[in-house]
Amino acid sequence: MLTRQRKGISFSSDLFIHSRASKMKYSVASIAYLISIAECLSLPPLIPSIPGVTEPLTTNAPPLPILQPKKIGYFWTGAGDKFHKDFLATYSLDDDTFGTLLWVTDVPSSGNDPHHLGPSLDGKTLFGGGLLSLLKTQDTGFYFDTSNPYRPKFLKSNRAVLGSIADEVRAKPDGGFFITYMGSAVGTSPGRLIETDAEFNIIHEYPEDVEGTLNILGEQFSPHGLSIDWEKKLILTSDFVEPITILKPSLGVRHANTLRLWDLDTKKILSTLTIPNGGGIQDVKFIPGNKESAALATAVHLGQVWIIYPLRKDENGNQGVIELLYDLGPKARDTIAIYTDITQDGKYIYLTLTTANHIAALDISDLDNVRRLDDPDEDQPTVGPHYIKVTPDQKHLVVTDYFVQTGEIGIINTPADFKALYIDLNEDGSLNFNRSIDFPKEFASRGGAKPHSSVVFDLTDPEDPKYY
């Protein structure tokens, strides 16, 4: 079938002819959506196959090449009207074609409130979790085949038995993922740490030992943050909120103050670490290259960053020591969410303060002398920033301006402008706001769109592609 190229999207001649004949004008997002539908339908071509006459046109002629940028952004997105299916939007992040929509990949269901997204180590699969899938008794985990990075395909979906409310995800070296599920099967505490095999089947829901089970039954276990030190064989999870308490009727959100330190090999909890009055420990990340395997965690109520030394022991001989590292100031207090990312050299951490409409930057190259690089009083061009990711080349931040909106059924509805920000990083680690992608405008045909998270592929060096 003949194909034509428009704005970097390859689409079939019959769709193009039909759209011209009916004199309809489609947005890029609408065209991509129609393509995805058309490819699923085995419709006959407008030009019939006539032996000896039409083969050169319909079978031998190669399609025109689609746009193939070196840097690709994948955005796990919910339809604004919650009627259209949730989807993965694939965009160019190259300088000359930035913001060009390459492809739209629908999942079979809607209203999942897409949450976090993560790649496998080989870049062939993405996992995306559904925060509110439970409310419609739908699968919670969604997998995408990115073997062709420019045209991802929906691969499969599944759900756990004991856990729900998918949050953070980390790829396993031998294939598969670890995933935090913040709630139980009905959205209460305890949640679970989920493990899949290389075929993305759920094979474990931790803890599975008696002592670990008693641990999570004895104190709120709502794992959100997840970080793994593969060399030192350690896992850290951070407890955020009990999911059911954000829905009506509610006496208020039940926040947690704890983190769990795990042994990677046995998947047993080594210790529970507490940030007094933390009010939701949303995120935790090991500092790349730190000699003590130190990690940073965010306490949302306090507006603070705490440091964990997992190899040290406290005065009672328990493994793991936790200390206050930095107070982000009064504007960071009770900002609903504080999510982070750290540069690969371990020098800088970036933090989104969701309801403060602010992105903070800290120089952590000297942990005894942390320096703030942003002005906390600056009016930044962002509304409701949440998910943040340093690009693989360490030159930019990708930030999505949407956290959670439960509507009439819940008590958390954070303001957002539903944009994906592409922020330049200056040499000193500070921020330079540059470009953005306006999802409500792009996906007006779906009642707008709510991008929650992102993954970036950097294919600049074919011998050393990076997936993050």
| pLDDT, tens digit, 9 for 90 and up, residues 142-161 | 999 999 999 999 999 999 99
Hey, which residues does 205 pair with through a beta bridge?
194
In a domain, 136, yes or no: yes
- 263, 250, 334, 325: which is closest to 294 by C-alpha? 325
Residues 147 and 35 in one domain: no
Per the domain annotation, does 290 fall within a domain?
A: yes
Which pLDDT does position 18 carry in this prediction?
Answer: 36
Domain boundary among 35, 60, 85: 60
Residues 170 and 213 in one domain: yes
Q: What is the DSSP letter of 223?
A: E
CATH number of the domain at 307, please. Answer: 2.130.10.10
- pLDDT at site 29: 52
Q: How deeply is 379 buried, as exposed, middle or buried, from its count of CB atoms within 10 A (0-12, 13-18, 19+)?
A: exposed
> Residue 52: pLDDT above 80?
no
pLDDT band at 66, cuts 50/70/90? confident
- Is residue 35 over pLDDT 90? no
The verdict on pTM exceeding 0.85 is: yes
- Do 372 and 325 belong together in one domain? yes
Identify whether residues 45 and 107 lie together within a single domain.
no
Within a domain: 56: yes
Positive/negative CA dihedral, 434, 435, 439, 442: positive
> Which tokens sit at 281?
């420990």
Is 238 within a domain?
A: yes
pLDDT for position 4: 36
Confidence band of 434 (pLDDT split at 50, 70, 90): very high
**What's the mean pLDDT in 234-259?**
96
Overall average pLDDT of the 326-345 stretch: 98
Whether residue 45 is found in the same domain as residue 78: no
- pLDDT-based confidence at residue 65 (cuts at 50, 70, 90): low
Quick one: 39 and 176 in the same domain? Answer: no
Q: What is the pLDDT of residue 1?
A: 36
Mean pLDDT of the chain: 89
Q: Quick one: 81 and 53 in the same domain?
A: no
Structural domain boundaries, residue 417: 72-467
34 plus 124 within the same structural domain? no
pLDDT at 458 over 80: yes
Asked whether residue 43 falls in the same domain as residue 181, the answer is: no
> Phi, psi (5° rounding) for residue 236?
-120, 130
- Of 13-22, 38-47, 133-142, 357-366, the poorest mean pLDDT is in 13-22
Residue 66 lies in a domain: no
Domain count, the chain: 2
In a domain, 65, yes or no: no
Q: Are 390 and 342 in contact (CB under 8 A)?
A: yes
Please list, residue by residue across 127-147, b when 16 or more beta carbons sit within 10 angstroms of its beta carbon and e when fewer do.
bbbbbbbbbeebbbbbbbebe
> Within this chain, do residues 415 and 436 fall inside the same structural domain, yes or no?
yes
351-379 mean pLDDT: 98
Strands 87-92 and 71-79, sheet pairing? antiparallel
Whether the pLDDT of residue 222 is over 50: the answer is yes
Residues in the chain: 468
Point out the least confidently predicted range of 4-13, 138-147, 349-358, 459-468: 4-13
Q: How far is CA 223 from CA 113, 239, 257, 281, in A?
A: 18, 4, 11, 9
Q: What is the pLDDT of residues 247-286, one digit of tens each?
A: 999 999 999 999 999 999 999 999 999 999 999 999 999 9
Q: Within this chain, do residues 397 and 434 fall inside the same structural domain, yes or no?
A: yes
Shared domain for 99 and 42, answered yes or no, is: no
- pLDDT bin (cut points 50, 70, 90) of residue 365 is very high
